[in-house]
A and B are shown apart, each in its own frame.
Chain A
Amino acid sequence: MNGVTPTPLTEASVPRFARGTRLQYDRVRETWFIQAPERAFQADAVAAEILQLVDGTRALGTIIDQLSEKFSAPRDIIARDVLALAQDLSARQVLVSP
């Protein structure tokens, strides 16, 4: 267990929010937040679109498909954003991919 780096995520990974973390819309500030132990941090517009699709059943590949269709955007650009965000939030223990 020494020096473990989180397994790299792929389009087949199916992430969900770890217990004790969630995505939440803040009506007062009119913005999305990631709620986590001891802190709530703001999710930017791109992160909020991605995280609203994270439900523990969708693979990252499916999320990428849905977003590139929704925004009529090139799939490779969406894929880069989605994988980078999922990787970052996994390292911060917000997302887990069993």
Chain B
Amino acid sequence: MTALPPPPMSLLAELTHRCPLQCPYCSNPLKLDPRGQELDTQEWLRVLDEAAEMGVLQVHFSGGEPMARPDLPDLVRHAAKKGLYSNLITSGVLITPESLHKLAEAGLDHIQLSFQDAQAETADRIAHMAGSHAKKLEAARLIAAEGLPLTLNFVIHRQNAERVPAMLDLAERLGARRVEIAHTQYYGWGLLNRDALLPDRAQLEATEKAVEQARTRLAGRMSIDFVTPDYYAEQPKPCMGGWGQRFINISPAGRVLPCHAAESIPGVVFPTVREASLADIWNTAPLFTMFRGTDWMPEPCKSCAFKEDDWGGCRCQALALAGRADATDPVCHRAPDHTVIERTITARPQTPPPFQYRRFGNA
């Protein structure tokens, strides 16, 4: 019997795929779970029990828009009772003084509020929702008034990259303790909209510089996480901190996944919380064991000095770009399929095509 893997640190609980926004880079899969398949309250409460029992320390309530679930305060309260650190990842458009106060009372630890841009006109166009930016500004004000710690999250792409300095100013004005300047990752909806989103190298470098300057200016007051667009990186990212090593993700319908894009992996059964315990799935389900550690790796990963730094990069990206989930992530300069990345950057159109918005049935 082989030793059990260390338990996950974090649970990403995707409560629903319903969302009033339609961002073209959404991290949800192209095939969205309909409302009728969502786990009910009792099922989520059991999942939280199992997560705490196995050693999960943090739960991220996400979606879609998790505030579309009326039972969210009950889930937050239960997480708090179990000692789980609770984080709400929200668009903010459903936040009212009442709904926010309920969450704070239930013991919510932290809110991560997404913004699409630093200005209303473009932000509303990216979210494909009129008035969304104004609602978010009001949500941020309410969160600050409630005293809840706030992280602002900005997803960066060619159509908003020039406003990164304005985004950092906005975060400071709104009283955020943290801000994430995260370049788009290209799977699912992001991959579908890649030509409309992928920045050029000059844009990327300008965002890096803006972040560097703000870090110096805001040291000790606001921390800034920067996520690079890995198409321009030298090495692949250690996706999810390694497959099945730190994160466990549960889809609205209860499928248990190593990452939110894993449902694209072919030829493997997706275990669900309706059929097995979270610990059993984490420890033994083929979906989790297939790419855990380094045994699965092909060359050039297998003999690479960095194999336990980047864990071979991203399996979903390897599948999407190289056609095989067990290939070296093409982002890596040593990958046999790296030319795919170079060709994509070269073929990027001068004028971005229209967005294909994220909504049920639009993929």
- Cβ of A98 within 8 Å of any chain B Cβ, yes or no, is no
- Contact indicator A19/B149 (Cβ below 8 Å): yes
Partner among B6, B7, B149 whose Cβ is within 8 Å of the Cβ of A37: B149
A91: B residues at CB distance < 8 A: 219-220
A93: B residues at CB distance < 8 A: 177, 220-221, 223
Q: How far is the CA of A40 from the CA of B270 in the complex (A)?
A: 28
- Cβ of B83 within 8 Å of any chain A Cβ, yes or no, is yes
Number of interface residues of A (CB under 8 A): 24
Q: How far is the CA of A37 from the CA of B59 in the complex (A)?
A: 11
Partner among A20, A26, A90 whose Cβ is within 8 Å of the Cβ of B55: A26
Mark each residue of chain A from 70 to 98: 1 if its CB lies under 8 Å from any CB of chain B, else 0: 00000000000000000000111100000
- Cβ of B321 within 8 Å of any chain A Cβ, yes or no, is no
How many A-B residue contacts, CB cutoff 8 Å?
A: 66
- Cβ of B285 within 8 Å of any chain A Cβ, yes or no, is no
- Contact indicator A40/B217 (Cβ below 8 Å): no
- Contact indicator A24/B219 (Cβ below 8 Å): no
- Cβ of A46 within 8 Å of any chain B Cβ, yes or no, is no
- Contact indicator B57/A4 (Cβ below 8 Å): no
With known contacts A28-B7, A29-B55, A93-B177, A2–B151 Cβ distance under 8 A:
no
- Cβ of B54 within 8 Å of any chain A Cβ, yes or no, is yes
Number of interface residues of B (CB under 8 A): 26
Q: How far is the CA of A49 from the CA of B295 in the complex (A)?
A: 39
B7: A residues at CB distance < 8 A: 28-29
- Cβ of B249 within 8 Å of any chain A Cβ, yes or no, is no
- Cβ of B184 within 8 Å of any chain A Cβ, yes or no, is no
Q: How far is the CA of A29 from the CA of B177 in the complex (A)?
A: 29
- Contact indicator B83/A4 (Cβ below 8 Å): no
Task: Report the minimum CB–CB distance from A20 to chain B (whole Å).
Answer: 3
A6: B residues at CB distance < 8 A: 220
B110: A residues at CB distance < 8 A: 20, 37-38
With known contacts A5-B220, A91-B220, A18–B149 Cβ distance under 8 A:
yes
- Contact indicator B58/A35 (Cβ below 8 Å): yes
Q: How far is the CA of A21 from the CA of B6 in the complex (A)?
A: 24
Interface residues of B (CB under 8 A from A): 6-7, 9, 54-55, 57-58, 83, 85, 87, 109-110, 112, 147-149, 151, 177-178, 216-217, 219-221, 223, 225
8 nearest A-B residue pairs (beta carbon): A20-B149, A28-B55, A40-B57, A35-B85, A37-B110, A6-B220, A20-B110, A91-B220
Interface residues of A (CB under 8 A from B): 1-6, 18-20, 22, 24, 26, 28-29, 33, 35, 37-40, 90-93
- A–B Cβ pairs within 8 angstroms, 13 of them: A3-B219, A18-B177, A19-B148, A24-B57, A29-B6, A35-B57, A35-B85, A37-B110, A37-B112, A37-B149, A38-B87, A40-B9, A93-B177
- With A35-B58, A35-B109, A40-B9 known, 4 other A-B pairs at CB within 8 A are A6-B220, A19-B148, A35-B57, A38-B151
